[in-house]
Structures are given as C-alpha cells and as structure tokens.
Homo-oligomer: A and B are copies of this chain.
Amino acid sequence: MTTITGLELHDVRFPTSQTLAGSDAMNTAPDYSAAYVVVRTSEPGLAGHGFAFTIGRGNEVQLAAIKVLEPFLAGRDLDEVLGEPGGPSRLGELYRRMVSDSPLHWLGPSCGVMHMATGAVLNACWDLAARRAGQPLWLLLSSFTPAQIVDLVDFRYLSDALSPADALGILEAAEPGRASRVSSLLLEGYPAYSTAPGWLGYSDAQMAALCASAVAEGFTQVKLKVGASLDDDKRRLAIARQAVGDDVAIAIDANQVWDVPAAIGWVRALAPFRPAWIEEPTAPDDILGMATIRAAVAPVRVAAGEHVSNRVLFKQLLQAGGIDVMQIDACRVAGVNENIANLLLAARFGVPVCPHAGGVGLCEAVQHLAMFDYAAVSGAMDGRRIEWVDHLHEHFTDPAVVSAGRYRAPRAPGASAQMLPGSLAEYAYPSGPAWRG
C-alpha cells in the first residue's frame, strides 16, 4: 500500500522586478513567485507537484494556507485519495471535502489565499494522479467518461445555470469527436498568443521590435498593457499595429485600473485601433460593471478571468453578459476541479475560453486545461488561444513548448508542474543564492 506522507513546501521567488518584464498599470514591479507544494508518498520517486502563483510579497502567507490543508492528505492511502489506478478519479470527493470545511470556508469564502491554496494542493494531486497513470494530465482527463468528469465538479451554487444533467449533456455531445481531436492536438498543438511585447515598462522601440518578432515567430495575436496614459496607449497601439500589420490581432489589457465610466470612455477612445479584446477593464468581481462596460464598448469584446475567484463569479459574468472571452487561470480557483466547472459554464453559454498564463508555471499548468477542453468539453478551437510569455520555463522539468505560434501538446506524465531541484534551491526565499546579498 502506498500512502501520502505529507506536504513539502518551498517559497520560490524570482527577482523579475529587476527587468520590468511583467509590469502593467496595476502591477508595477512584480517578483514572480510560487508557493510550491510537493505531495510526497511512501513510494520513492512518486510525488505530485503544484503551486500557487503570486507576485512576491506575501508568498509565505500562501504557503501557510497550503500547510493547513496537510491533514486532508497526510497518512492517507494513495488509492483512497486518487481512486484505484485505471478507475474513476476520487479527487472530486477530496475537492468537495476541502471546500466545504467550514473553518477554511470562513477564511474565503471561496476566494483569496485559502482558495488558491486549495487549488495548489488539488493541482499537485492531479499531477500525482497523471504521473501514476503515466499520462499527461490533459490526456488523463480526456480518458474519463462524461459521468466521471461530472463527478469531479462541485455544482453547489451553479444549478440555476448548470445542473449535473446539463454538464453530462455537454460532455456527451463532445464524445464522438474526442479521439480525432486528441490526435490533432498531438500533431498540431493549440494556438497561442504572445504577451511578451506589451509590458508597460518597455520602451516604444523595444515593444515594436518584440511585436515584429512575435509575428515572425508565427503568432497571430499579441497583447499590450494599457491604462496608465491614454496618449501613450494610442501611440503604442499605432506603433504596434504598424509592427504587426493588419492581419495580426492586438488585444489590450487594463489590469483593473478603471472605474466603470472611465473604462467606457477609454476603451471607446481606443476602439479605432480595433483591439481583439479589452481585458480586465475594471474590478473582476464587478459583474454588473463588466456587463455595463461590455454593452457600452461593443463591438470591442470584453475578456476577464485571471482574478475571478470562483465558479460562482464566472457563472454570473456569463449570466449577466459581462464577458465575451473567459480567461481561466490554473492557480486562482480551486484547481483542476473548479476549472472543469468553469469550462462547462463557458460551453453552456457558448463563450470561448482563452486561458490566462505567464507568470511562473502558469503556461505549463493551463495548457492541460485548454487541451482537455478542446478534446472533451467544448470540442472547439476557433477564436481560442492560450496566452504565452517566454519566461521562466527553464525552471521546469517539462517546460511548455510553443513553436510556430502554437503550444505543443505535453507528452510527459503529469501536469508539467515540477520545477527543477536546482531552481527550487537557487530561488528559495530568502535563503537561496539568488536572494543573498
């Protein structure tokens, strides 16, 4: 019998604020960081890796929250937690037990540090399950029956928009084409777009050069940060348009800097530049505000999700007509399980999912969800792209790979979440070599 022995925690921080890669109107100097967790087992070499992504200060709070979840796993039989090898997953049960623990729910509710901790631990369990199965996570998920997938979801608070029967219907409708979509993913991957050119801290020349590079590398969409100065935004958008030409889309991202009226005015002023979408025009939990903005700035599309705390808020963004594009994040919500609910909600409302990524490890983690969505949920790829930033991938044992503007399908067992031991040591905060002196 294999048992889970406990959680091993690492405070990993990269001094990215030194380069201003990652700078936007809200987040001016982030140090990309991971509250990194390893689920250890009694079987040597069998472990699961997961993390919450933060931007530096407070990463230790995130780790403290992950630590609180250890009693849900430590000492338990591995098969009891994950389900029997080759059988249905039991991680839906673990997920529902963790999110309905009332003292921990009080620390949310279903948001912030405690919720992200749940996500980190669940994602590590999924990494473990996929390693045990010898499959990449997206393929493991795509091997489950519709009923098995439905069992991974917590439908509490969703039933006015998505019932288990609705979910089953969506998954069954997507079943016929699964095998061929899996093949196409293995052969051709999944479309990406590049945020590399658009950080606010970059000069016009640097931004233009990176836009041209992105097009040369095969990307069909780039993204620019906006919202600090309208004049700067107009100038930068004009330069970017010249650099990418007429056929490449340019999305813009305000990172929550505006109130509702300001968002409407600013986005209308940028509409002549034909942005592919405006991302996070205001507070992500301002459902009604997002809906007001979307109605006022059409045909410019509205995107959001990287800071949307849970499936109940996503449900409402869809019900209220607040978003044209749903941007799930692998680490903001309660892991793979809650993101399956988010994918099902998007499918139910016919809204495309373009996952948020970047940071550290977010590309690695979220690619599995987008590919699972294509294979088994929405069955669609049109208008969908995963965000891509070519940054910090060298710290992972199975880094995400983008070529010719597309994510290549991961083939190694697991969820691509494992960092190299050398990176964990080098960037350990505050004692690692990268932070000393």
Residue ranges of A at the interface with B (Cβ–Cβ < 8 Å): 26-31, 54-58, 60-62, 64-65, 68, 101-116, 156-160, 256, 259-262, 282-289, 292, 307, 309-310, 312-313, 315-316, 319-320
Contact = CB atoms under 8 A, between A and B. Distances in A.
Nearest to A101: B57
Contact of A30 (B30, B56, B103): B103
Contacts of A60: 64, 68
A27 B106 contact: yes
A287 B289 contact: no
Contacts of A286: 157, 312, 315-316
A113 B157 contact: no
Contact of A157 (B28, B101, B115, B259): B259
> Which among A112, A262, A284, A292 has the greatest number of chain B C-beta atoms within 10 A?
A112
A307 B159 contact: no
Contacts of A320: 288
Given A61-B61, A109-B307, A113-B61, A282 B157 contact: yes
A26 B100 CA distance: 8
Contacts of A26: 102, 105
B57 A68 contact: yes
Given A160-B292, A289-B160, A62 B102 contact: no
Nearest to A27: B102
B114 A58 contact: yes
Contacts of A260: 157, 159-160
23 contacts: A26-B102, A29-B102, A30-B102, A54-B103, A54-B107, A56-B103, A61-B61, A61-B107, A62-B107, A64-B64, A107-B116, A108-B111, A109-B309, A113-B113, A156-B259, A157-B259, A157-B289, A159-B262, A160-B259, A160-B260, A160-B289, A287-B287, A289-B312
Contact of A113 (B54, B112, B319): B112
The number of times this chain is found in the oligomer is 2
B285 A109 contact: yes
Given A61-B65, A65-B61, A316-B286, A108 B103 contact: no
A42 to B, nearest CB: 26
> Which among A107, A313, A315 has the greatest number of chain B C-beta atoms within 10 A?
A107
B102 A108 contact: no
A285 B312 contact: yes
A109 B284 contact: yes
B58 A28 contact: no
The 8 closest A-B pairs by CB, nearest first: A112-B112, A57-B103, A113-B113, A160-B260, A64-B64, A111-B111, A27-B102, A159-B259
B113 A261 contact: no
A106 B432 CA distance: 24
Contacts of A30: 102-103, 106
B312 A283 contact: yes
Given A58-B103, A65-B113, A106-B27, A288 B316 contact: yes
B310 A285 contact: yes
Given A113-B65, A113-B114, A261-B159, A107 B285 contact: no
Contact of A107 (B28, B112, B316): B112
A245 B250 CA distance: 67
Contacts of A114: 58, 61, 112-113
A5 B210 CA distance: 48
A31 B102 CA distance: 11
A55 B111 CA distance: 17
Contact of A65 (B58, B262, B316): B58
